[in-house]
Amino acid sequence: MDKRFLKQLGLRKHNAGTMTGLESTNSSKYIKSFSPVDGELIGSVSKTTREEYDAVIAAAQEAFKTWRLLPAPKRGEIIRQYGEELRRMKDPLGRLVSYEMGKSLQEGWGEVQEMIDICDFAVGLSRQLYGLSMHSERPGHRMYEQWHPLGIVGVISAFNFPVAVWSWNAMIALVCGDVVVWKPSEKAPMCGVACQQLFQKVLQENEVPEGVCSLINGDYKVGEFLTKDERVALVSATGSIRMGKIVAATVGARLGKTLLELGGNNAIIVTPNADLDIVLTGALFGAVGTAGQRCTSTRRLIVHESIYDEVKQKLAKAYPQLRIGDPLDENNHVGPLIDTQAVDQYLSAIEAVEREGGNFLVEGGRLEGDAYSSGCYVKPCIAEVEHDFEIVHHETFAPILYLIKYSDLSEALAYNNEVPQGLSSAIMTNNLREAELFLSAAGSDCGIANVNIGTSGAEIGGAFGGEKETGGGRESGSDAWKAYMRRQTNTINYSETLPLAQGIKFDL
């Protein structure tokens, strides 16, 4: 394979995993990153030690003192330059995402495009961090609110969006005046190094203080440095529900703030009024895109009994046409899972479906042979199941699609909402009443609810996140920036008296 992209990104065999913004350090222990595409070693990244971590936090605290005072539009200008750098490096960075994580090259480039988009969004936002003004009930008084930065924002990210999730958090937090410390997934550490190195260049060119945006690396133990640290005002964590519960408890115990973006179990309801061509495209991409390793992947297809057989036949015909293989080859639709542990989880979910009485419409299994030598490639599969199977209520991070039959819409809505997760959802219908019911307070309980669009993916302009065990956090667009700031209510008395509230007299 042509691996020139590694050189273009300045990546080496051994890379420094700790960067205090401008300076890098190499400790003695390394995380090795193997590609799920061909099983080869991509490179290694040094693990952050406790001493290095403390140096990163000290630099971040110092940097915050000046960064928070730089006018927000000036901070935005630096983010604009990073967006330009990303435009320049979109091809090699997209290739690295594809090679280290295993998603298709199109999706790798797409992830970098999301980074560029959020940079653009953040630049505009840097002139729009608006607070409200209110009418005071007291004469000669003015009341308004301001938004101030929080301080250090710790970002813990998952393997499946190894570059975009950091940028959704970091670009917004930085224009808000916060400083950022990022711990990427230990399953995709090279992506973290590449993003940080590109950012360092921009920071250096702008003589930004050391510590504005730093990188640390390691497994959950390094993540715990952030969650247990009172100096970290906000921990934004993306990953499994298991991780989110621990992070929420740890940060909550010190009354710190969290922003949690956790697992999903996303369904599409297909009513008799659906356009079946749209259903097929939406369900197919939702279920097999990124080999089912998106938090918004379609896991459940809840289909009305009158069209169930037709939908089933269309899917059974489409799945054998999927090309599975090297994701950097643009002819392929589906790449590998992240590692062999993920393959084992996929295989045990298949066993659980069979144990509970499910029927496989399209069979799954691990793929063997030269083209699949990493051992991480699996067949996307479809199982006909009952809505209340235990395994169906669990997020298996792999391309397994569950087909569920329903007879009336209230039943389908109940199925949509009965799982513990609440990230993304969709209804396929051309009937206005069905669509509006789905979007109403009595409809989907998810953070994302779509009509005639699948569950997978989202535009950066909206607030992204979900309810229940998905964690309740919101990132990216709309007013998600408020999570990265503290609100201050200000009242100014410009009269010559001090009227007390509730008519209280306090004359001496």
Where on the chain is the footprint of ligand NAD (CB under 6 A)?
156-161, 183, 185-186, 219-220, 223-224, 227, 238-240, 243, 246-247, 261-264, 295, 395, 397, 423, 470
| Contact assessment for residue 205 and residue 81, using Cβ atoms and an 8 Å cutoff | yes
The pair of structure tokens assigned to 112 is 């970098």
Closest approach of Cβ 76 to ligand NAD, in Å?
A: 24
Tokens of 195: 């993003």
What's the angle, vertex CA 324, arms to CA 320 and CA 330, rounded to 5?
115
Nearest Cα neighbor of 25 from 193, 212, 230 is 193
Residue 407, amino acid: S
Are 6 and 42 spatial neighbours (Cβ–Cβ below 8 Å)?
yes
Least distance in angstroms from the C-beta of 1 to ligand NAD: 24
Backbone angles phi, psi at 431, to 5 degrees: -100, 120
Q: How far is the CB of 248 from ligand NAD (least distance, A)?
A: 10
Nearest to ligand NAD of 82, 166 (CB atom): 166
| Residue of 175, 221, 210, 215 lying closest to 191 (CA atoms) | 215
If the CB atoms of residues 177 and 422 are measured against ligand NAD, the closer one turns out to be 422
Query: Residues 107, 111, 261, 475: which is the catalytic one?
Result: 261
Shortest reach from residue 168's CB to ligand NAD, in Å: 9
Provide the minimum distance between the beta carbon of 162 and ligand NAD in the complex, in angstroms, as a whole number: 9
Judged by beta carbon, residue 95 or residue 299, the one nearer ligand NAD is: 299
Any residues with CB less than 8 A from the CB of 310 and at least 6 apart, and which? 276
Q: Tell me if residue 479 falls in helix, strand or coil.
A: coil
Q: How, if at all, do strands 463-464 and 467-468 pair?
A: unpaired
CB of 237 to ligand NAD, least distance (A): 6
CA 401 – CA 286 distance, rounded (Å): 9
CB 235 within 8 Å of CB 181: no
- Kindly state the tokens that stand for 470: 């998905």
Distance CA 18, CA 52 (A): 7
Identify the H or E element spanning 111: helix 105-125
Based on CB atoms, which residue is closest to ligand NAD, 406 or 481? 481
Question: Closest CB to ligand NAD among 274 and 458?
Answer: 458
Q: Which helix (H) or strand (E) holds 487?
A: strand 485-493
Record the tokens describing residue 87, joined without a space.
């435009």
Shortest Cβ contact with ligand NAD: which residue?
223
d(CA 141, CA 136): 6
Query: How near is the Cβ of 449 to ligand NAD at its closest, in Å?
Result: 15
HSE (CB half, 13 Å, CA atoms) of 432?
A: 0
Contact, 418 vs 387, CB < 8 A?
yes
- Kindly tell me which of 209 and 223 has the beta carbon lying closer to ligand NAD: 223
354 or 459: CB nearest ligand NAD: 459
Alpha helices in 149-188 (DSSP H): 164-175
Q: Distance (Å, rounded) from C-alpha 225 to C-alpha 232?
A: 10
Residue 218 Cβ vs ligand NAD, minimum distance, rounded to whole Å: 8
Provide, rounded to whole angstroms, the least separation between the CB of residue 37 and ligand NAD. 18
**261 is annotated as an active-site residue:** yes
Query: 422 or 443, CB closer to ligand NAD?
Result: 422
- Contact of 271 with 429, CB cutoff 8 Å: yes
Nearer residue to ligand NAD within complex by CB, 52 or 261 = 261
Residue type, position 439, single letter: L
Phi, psi of 207 (to 5 degrees): 50, 45
Q: What angle do CA 157, 476, 437 make, to 5 degrees?
A: 110
Catalytic (active-site) positions: 261
